[in-house]
Amino acid sequence: MLNLNEYLQLLAGLVSVVNPVGAIPTFISLTTNRTPEDRRRTAIVCASAVAMVLLVALLLGEPILRFFGIGIPAFRVAGGILVLLMGISMLRASHDRARHTPEERAESYDKESVAVVPLAIPLLSGPGAISTAIVYAHMEHSLAHYLLVGAVILSVAAIVLAALLSAPKLALVMGRTGMNVVTRVMGLILASIAVEFIAKGLSALFPILGKAA
């Protein structure tokens, strides 16, 4: 079984890639004309959808990859590159099209429910978060490991729920500058984890690199 530090690393990585603080402006803009009860319901449904998507990735991600003939090392490198690009985008505090394009955001204003699409998918539990869950799922195959990773995913969903429920207050206290600072710090953590993903994937694909290290 992995040690505690690696599960804490997973928690930090998932929180960084999900980036609930960065989703606050979008959540506020999409629910601006709704009652407090509607916003609360939207936050609960969104957090539940995030948990469900990541739990499905945890349980079914690797079998799906095997079905398509994709090896975990190759997926680790590809996922690491995607997560690295997201981390760089967060470091620049710029809009990340891998999460949510301007066209999707404009279309979502006309939807009655925005909790699942676009908030949960793809804004919060997008390709980066799914890739991270699948990579960590492959590290062990014991029941205890899956339960611990599942607990981490549920913790991330709880953090998402807390951030969305307190979105108006957080936006008022932190301001745009404060949220950008948090986003940049999360981007740095995310970029570091992505580099480790890529390094381990390349070492598995090209064992000679591991020997050279």
φ/ψ of residue 76, rounded to 5? -65, -40
Question: Chain centroid to CA 204: how far?
Answer: 24
| Residue 189, amino acid | I
- Sorted by where each begins, the domain ranges of the chain are 4-212
What is the per-residue pLDDT across 99-131, written as a single tens digit (0 to 9) for each? 555 555 555 544 557 899 888 988 899 888 999
What is the per-residue pLDDT across 12-52, written as a single tens digit (0 to 9) for each? 989 988 989 888 988 988 888 888 999 999 999 999 999 99
